[in-house]
């Protein structure tokens, strides 16, 4: 039997058709199981990452074919250092595999800011300025002065603090304020006026 006769024989065609069918079955079967295994096209819920460390989050997301990315850090004194405090997308939000999950972690060290100059302004203005720097008003001590609630001195942990000094964000700044007692000021001026001039003695 020649090669041409063999190719067009019933036996060859039968085996050829069977091979095509088996090949297609194997191909589609493989694609089907791969699709199930990789969850291709299936949305899955994002796990809750708040309260765990970055390394722990990486392991959890790796198993789900997701990637953990740190995008920001904050300093919260009441939270463990290095702990995740926020995430995007949030927990239980459905995404597909390969998605980037962005997290905010609690910083290992507190953020530092420059001390502003608030001497000479009112208590209300001083409070507003301090808040813009992430600072707070601490203890307030009042002393005799004609300008009521005027900031006369600024201090930190019992010591005078100058403008531009670097301190931890969230620190409390103690203030010395004017009592607004004009009589005290007037008595002081009268005392100076009534004192005898030494040159005339």
Query: What is residue 41's predicted lDDT score, i.e. its pLDDT?
Result: 57
Q: Is residue 189 part of a domain?
A: no
Query: What is residue 42's predicted lDDT score, i.e. its pLDDT?
Result: 78
Give 72-107 as a 3 state SS string.
Answer: EEECCCCCCCCEEEEEECCCCCEECCCCEEEEEEEC
Q: Are 174 and 122 in contact (CB under 8 A)?
A: no
Q: Is residue 155 part of a domain?
A: yes
Domain total in the chain: 2
Residues 167 and 139 in one domain: yes
Residues 130 and 98 in one domain: no
- Run means of pLDDT, 10 residues per run, the chain, 201 residues: 56 71 74 57 89 96 95 88 95 94 91 94 96 95 94 96 93 95 53 45 35
The Cα–Cα gap between 73 and 106 comes to: 6
Query: What is residue 199's predicted lDDT score, i.e. its pLDDT?
Result: 43
Which class for 34: exposed (0-12), middle (13-18), buried (19 or more C-beta within 10 A)? exposed
Q: Of the candidates 91, 90, 89, which has an alpha carbon nearest to the alpha carbon of residue 99?
A: 89
Q: Is residue 12 part of a domain?
A: no
Query: What is residue 142's predicted lDDT score, i.e. its pLDDT?
Result: 96
Q: Domain of residue 118: give its range.
A: 112-181
Q: Is residue 34 part of a domain?
A: no
In Å, the largest CA–CA distance within the chain is: 151
Kind and range of the H or E element at 4? Answer: helix 3-7
Q: Is residue 61 part of a domain?
A: yes
Question: Of 62, 87, 106, which marks where a domain is finished?
Answer: 106
Query: What is residue 192's predicted lDDT score, i.e. its pLDDT?
Result: 47
Query: What is residue 115's predicted lDDT score, i.e. its pLDDT?
Result: 97
Residues 65 and 51 in one domain: yes
Q: How far is CA 181 from CA 10, 148, 154, 177, in A?
A: 119, 8, 20, 12
Question: Of 106, 127, 155, which marks where a domain is finished?
Answer: 106
Query: What is residue 196's predicted lDDT score, i.e. its pLDDT?
Result: 43
Query: What is residue 126's predicted lDDT score, i.e. its pLDDT?
Result: 97
Query: What is residue 193's predicted lDDT score, i.e. its pLDDT?
Result: 43
CATH number, residue 142: 3.30.10.20
Residues 69 and 83 in one domain: yes
Residues 74 and 55 in one domain: yes
Residues 177 and 121 in one domain: yes
Q: Is residue 70 part of a domain?
A: yes
């Amino acid at each position: 039997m020649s090669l041409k006769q063999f190719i067009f024989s019933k036996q060859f065609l039968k085996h050829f058709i069977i091979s095509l069918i088996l090949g297609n079955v194997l191909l589609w079967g493989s694609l089907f199981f791969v699709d199930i295994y990789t969850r291709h096209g299936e949305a899955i819920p994002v796990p809750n990452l708040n309260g765990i460390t970055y390394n722990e989050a990486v392991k959890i997301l790796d198993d789900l074919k997701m990637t953990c990315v740190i995008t920001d850090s904050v300093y919260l004194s009441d939270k463990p250092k290095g702990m995740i405090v926020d995430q995007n997308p949030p927990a239980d939000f459905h995404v597909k595999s390969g998605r980037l999950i962005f997290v905010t972690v609690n910083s290992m060290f507190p953020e530092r800011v420059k001390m502003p100059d608030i001497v000479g302004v009112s208590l209300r203005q001083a409070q507003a300025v301090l808040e813009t720097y992430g600072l707070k008003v601490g203890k307030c001590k009042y002393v005799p002065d004609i300008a009521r609630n005027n900031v006369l001195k600024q201090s930190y942990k019992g010591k005078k603090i100058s403008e531009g000094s670097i301190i931890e964000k969230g620190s409390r700044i103690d203030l010395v304020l004017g009592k607004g007692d004009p009589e005290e000021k007037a008595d002081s001026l009268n005392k100076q006026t009534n004192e005898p001039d030494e040159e005339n003695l």
